[in-house]
């Protein structure tokens, strides 16, 4: 980030990639998770949480949304409850978070928004192993691209990181091992691989980068 006084708000920073991001800036980061009493699918809770955050810390320089449950299941075997849960977790939570926080960033005329999708969702191809999950992430990409144009005049950037097979204690390791042969780099990614992209997007070097999907997948072949 630009300075020691800049604040980072991580929504979903309780484990995995989100936790690694929060740990990278421990003195500057506020973490919102359901376990801490903030459900990002609940607009009321988000509004109250942001009002408290703004009183204590002001408007954050950066907002990072990392929430997104994953279910690996063919489309015709996906029941309605699973479909709705995946969209609530991956898309609705981002929508509500953006509406709660980004207007204040626009008002302050500065800021960085980083959302998380999944490698390949911005491509014109089938995603057979988890179609409901990838559909939600594809919708998130479109949401980000539209928001990027909307808020660009205020100096706020919006970008998406699309990780591939990233290993951490809470990742879907059985699925990752099955797909590892499709990674030309020959290894699973690490949270540090993703964290490097986050550092870039929050740096001065990325001030003119917005509306982009930045893939971190070692060349993963679908």
User: Across the chain, what does the average pLDDT equal?
Assistant: 93
CATH of 8-216, one of 3.40.640.10, 3.30.70.141, 3.40.50.720, 3.40.50.280: 3.40.50.720
* Whole-angstrom distance, CA of residue 130 vs CA of residue 148: 27
- Does residue 2 surpass a pLDDT of 80? no
- Nearest CA to 165 out of 85, 219, 94, 124 is that of 219
Q: Which residues are catalytic?
A: 133
- Encode pLDDT of 82-111 as tens digits: 999 999 999 999 999 999 999 999 999 999
d(CA 57, CA 212): 29
Q: Name the pTM for this structure.
A: 0.94
- Domain borders along the chain are 8-216
Amino acid 147: pLDDT:
98
Q: How confident is the model at residue 157 (pLDDT cuts 50, 70, 90)?
A: very high
String of DSSP letters for 10-64: EET-SSHHHHHHHHHSTTTEEEE-GGGT--TT-HHHHHHHHHHHHHHH-S-SEEE
Burial classification of residue 71, based on how many CB atoms lie within 10 Å of its CB (0-12 exposed, 13-18 middle, 19 or more buried): middle
Average pLDDT over residues 174-195: 88
Mean pLDDT of 44-50: 97
């Amino acid at each position: 980030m630009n300075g020691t006084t800049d604040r980072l708000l991580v929504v979903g920073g309780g484990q995995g990639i989100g936790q690694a991001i929060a740990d990278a800036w421990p003195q500057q980061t506020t973490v919102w998770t359901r376990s801490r009493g903030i459900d990002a699918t609940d607009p009321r809770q988000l509004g109250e949480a942001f009002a408290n955050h703004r009183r204590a810390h002001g408007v954050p320089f950066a907002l990072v949304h990392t929430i997104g449950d994953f279910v690996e299941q063919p489309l015709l075997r996906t029941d309605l409850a699973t479909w709705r849960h995946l969209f609530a977790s991956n898309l609705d939570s981002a929508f509500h978070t953006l509406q709660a926080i980004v207007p204040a960033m626009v008002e302050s005329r500065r800021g960085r928004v980083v959302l998380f999708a999944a490698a390949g969702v911005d491509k014109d191809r089938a995603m057979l192993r988890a179609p409901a999950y990838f559909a939600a992430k594809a919708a998130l990409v479109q949401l980000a691209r539209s928001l990027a144009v909307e808020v660009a005049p205020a100096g706020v950037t919006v970008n998406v990181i699309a990780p591939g097979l990233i290993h951490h204690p809470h990742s879907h390791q059985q699925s990752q091992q099955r797909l590892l042969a499709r990674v030309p780099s020959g290894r699973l990614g690490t949270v540090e691989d993703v964290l490097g992209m986050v550092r870039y997007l929050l740096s001065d070097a990325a001030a003119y980068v917005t509306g982009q999907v930045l893939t971190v997948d070692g060349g993963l072949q679908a």
